[in-house]
Chains A and B, each alone.
Chain A
Amino acid sequence: MSYIIVSDATKCAGCLSCMLYCSFKFEGMFKLSASRIKVKRLVGQPTEYELMFTPECDSCGLCARYCPYEALTRQKVVIR
């Protein structure tokens, strides 16, 4: 079974919990710069974000599990 992380940046409140959990999993410490999900503020707009994943992301879904605002969800990939 494959999964993907679906993002809805309009729901993001900018708490960065996803980045902390992600780095915790891969680095064993809270290291924002090492996170495989990047919450980027849009230029000139401190409360609008872009949610991006680095190529190393394995879609484990930890970020989605701990997103308090449902900006990230983990969904099954259905192949028809």
Chain B
Amino acid sequence: MEIPGYVGNILFIDLTYGRVSKEPLDAALIRTYLGGAGINNKLAYSLIPPEADPLSPENAIIIGTGPFSGTIIPGSSELMITYKSPLNGAFPYSCGGGKFAAFLKSSGYDHVVITGRSDKPVYLKIEDENIKLHDASDLWGRDSFETTDILMQRHEPCSVIPIGPSGENLVNISVSHIDKGGTVGSGGLAAVMGSKNLKAIVVVMGTKGVTVAHPRRLRKLVDDILSRVNSYHRRPEMMLGGAMAMTSGWVPEGGIARNSSTLIPYQQDAGEIQAQIYEIHKRSRKKIACMTCPMSDKDRIDLVEHGMMIYDTAIMAERAIMTTSPAFGHSDSTSPLDRYAEALSYFDLANRYGIDRIYSFRGLADFVISLYEDGIITKEDTGMELNRELSTIIKLVKITALREGFGDVLADGPVKAARRIGKNAEKHLQNVIKGQFVAFDPRLSALGSTEFAQLTHPGRCFGVAGALGAPTYSLGWPLSEYLKQAKRCGVSEEAMGRIFTEGSFNAARLAKHAEDFFCVFNILGQCHRLYISRFYSVDVLAELYSAVTGIEVTAADLKVASERAWNIWKLLNYRAGFDRKDDEPPEIWFQPLKGVDKDYVLMDYFHNTVLTREDVEGLLDDYYEERGWDKHTSAPTPTKLRQLGLDSFARDVES
């Protein structure tokens, strides 16, 4: 049966034999898992053996759109990609924007599953029924953006997911991009593509359409969302500055941690320089929007004075670090324009090589530089002098992407690199969860739901519990704001009673509900960035889903589907060996982070209480209880799985 909102097909590509097949997207699959991450996870559970080597032909790349993809719903551009990560052996959480999801549906596919390994470099082109593996020997060795440019010229109108040299060289901290706009797959998706000899995936705008069940109802709902978008007080500034408008003169609290132990302060006039750079950014910026996005948070920056044209996104905190901190990428330049140009050069280089600079590389570089500064490793180990200068950082990016010399060690990612370095280096790797660096050190902010969710995310150290506590956006919120936000996220009255007690909130229990909220976006194909998700509640998403598909759902129904996706995510990772021990807080969280004027210690969100390991262990118990998972193992219980209608998964857990 054809269900509006879906185009009804899963495309299977076996690279080993060059086989292509198509299967109908089963209506039962749709009704249970809805789409996006929900269907992706279900497919991954069936198709990727838990013990598979991530860089072997057994691993699969599963691409998922949602029922909102390809419609007019503002921000309906999110693509989900599921695979086993070579960085930590887990199943991470990879999403990205651009035009890929909408174009894939216009060619007639909701999901794509890529398995096997080609015996020579190829790129996959999807264009309606015309599915081809093209020779990519002329592209091999080219950087991510150059590859995108060439393929766009060949196949326009199209959307492209390429890999750069880091993917070809199987670098575990590699990342892919979509349309030169944003990144996707920071757990080493590029290396998985590289291991399959897959240089790029191209989807051409096809001839199919996405139908909707109730067009007028959808138009009315979208008109209402757009009127709220248009009256959003920060939108005019976002139109000028993009994502950077959120943090125009922002200098993060305290400084940059040197190997998670000591804070290196920003230079005195950092705030002023950031404000000047923001002005340069605004006048140099060309807006880039993902499909149907009214916020255009992505940038092309034309620094005319330096003859530069740079594509980048998510440069908020990094910009402050690269331009006003001696901790990473220091240079002797003094003018804000020059500093910004230098930072952009680094971003561009990392993007082109396909190095995940945000979640992995900066932490890893800081780690080895700290080891060098402390005399634990020397030039004999590294083959080069290590310091915090920009020129050194740039050299490290290159040798990592090309696996040259010491770069071959870094390319393995933090845990394996520390092992290879030896000399007790592992002991100095202090702020890592599931093989990834902690993104938000809770000692600097507080243990809100986002910081907590870094522990419990099934496959990576970077939660998605932002709506109810992203530290960059909501530090210092009063409790009343949290109560309001919880309602928007569809938290039941009963759960509210457990979360909000004694004038505060339980960050662990709240994290569970924030995850469920965000996962709704991830199963529908909807962007969950703050400046888009703020216009949606679960109720609105349920209305939209009903209008698009004709399947009438309530907010509670969507939350159940979201829980199904999250529980299967957990099972994928639990089956791959990730249990409670992998959710434990790093010991460094309970030691002071030394600042210039004060030490920072782990505290609750309202900074009333210093938290001990026992407190955080207690919060882990609370989290598992809220989820209906076993407190000792962290596995979803058969009872919980049956409650969600996942009986076959319950039987798997029992056996």
Contacts and interface: CB of A to CB of B under 8 A. Distances in A.
Interface of A: 13-17, 20-21, 23-24, 27-34, 40-41, 43-44, 46-47, 66, 68-69
B573 to A, nearest CB: 35
B293 to A, nearest CB: 5
Contacts of A41: 152, 156-157
B276 interface: no
B71 A69 contact: no
Interface string B252-283: 00000000000000000000000000000000
A20 B106 CA distance: 11
B647 interface: no
Given A31-B208, A32-B106, A46-B148, A21 B72 contact: yes
Given A13-B293, A17-B294, 15 more contacts: A20-B72, A24-B72, A24-B215, A29-B210, A29-B211, A31-B208, A31-B209, A32-B106, A33-B207, A41-B152, A44-B153, A47-B286, A47-B300, A68-B226, A68-B296
Given A15-B296, A41-B157, A30 B287 contact: no
A27 B207 CA distance: 12
B288 interface: yes
B287 A13 contact: yes
Contacts of A68: 226, 229, 289, 293-294, 296
B290 A15 contact: yes
B205 A46 contact: no
Nearest to A45: B149
A40 B157 CA distance: 7
Contacts of B210: 29-31
B207 A69 contact: no
A72 B106 CA distance: 24
B627 to A, nearest CB: 36
Contacts of A46: 148-149, 152, 179-180
Contacts, number: 90
Interface residues of B, number: 39
Contact of B71 (A20, A27, A28, A44): A20
B118 interface: no
Interface in B206-239: 206-212, 215, 226, 229, 239
B292 interface: yes
A28 B215 contact: yes
Contacts of A28: 211, 215
Contact of A66 (B72, B103, B239): B72
B581 to A, nearest CB: 45
B289 A14 contact: yes
13 contacts: A15-B296, A16-B292, A24-B215, A27-B209, A29-B210, A30-B209, A30-B210, A31-B106, A32-B106, A44-B153, A46-B180, A47-B311, A69-B287
A30 B294 CA distance: 18
A44 B239 CA distance: 25
Interface of B: 70-72, 99, 102-103, 106, 148-149, 152-153, 156-157, 179-180, 205-212, 215, 226, 229, 239, 286-294, 296, 300, 311
A80 to B, nearest CB: 34
B296 A16 contact: no
A23 B152 contact: no
A54 B215 CA distance: 24
Given A13-B296, A33-B205, A47 B71 contact: no
A23 B179 CA distance: 23
Among A24, A29, A32, A69, find the residue whose CB has the most chain B CB atoms closer than 10 A: A32
B209 A17 contact: no
Top 9 nearest A-B pairs (CB, nearest first) are A31-B209, A29-B209, A13-B289, A68-B294, A15-B289, A13-B287, A30-B210, A13-B296, A29-B211
B341 to A, nearest CB: 19
A69 B102 contact: no
Among B215, B289, B290, B311, find the residue whose CB has the most chain A CB atoms closer than 10 A: B289
A77 B311 CA distance: 39
Contact of B106 (A15, A17, A24, A33): A33
A25 to B, nearest CB: 10
Nearest to B160: A46
A44 B309 CA distance: 13
Contacts of A40: 156-157
A15 B102 contact: no
Given A31-B208, A40-B157, A66-B72, A15 B293 contact: yes
Contact of A30 (B70, B99, B180, B290): B70
A20 B292 contact: yes
B347 to A, nearest CB: 16
B212 A32 contact: no
Contacts of A44: 149, 153
A23 B103 CA distance: 14
B102 A16 contact: yes
Contacts of B206: 33
B212 A29 contact: yes
B153 A69 contact: no
Nearest to A31: B209
A50 B291 CA distance: 17
B191 to A, nearest CB: 24
Contacts of A21: 72
B292 A17 contact: yes
Contact of B288 (A13, A17, A20, A31): A13
Contacts of A24: 72, 215
A15 B215 CA distance: 20
Nearest to B208: A31
Among A29, A44, A68, find the residue whose CB has the most chain B CB atoms closer than 10 A: A68
B102 A32 contact: yes
Given A31-B106, A33-B205, A44-B149, A17 B72 contact: yes
A17 B226 CA distance: 12
Contacts of B99: 14, 16
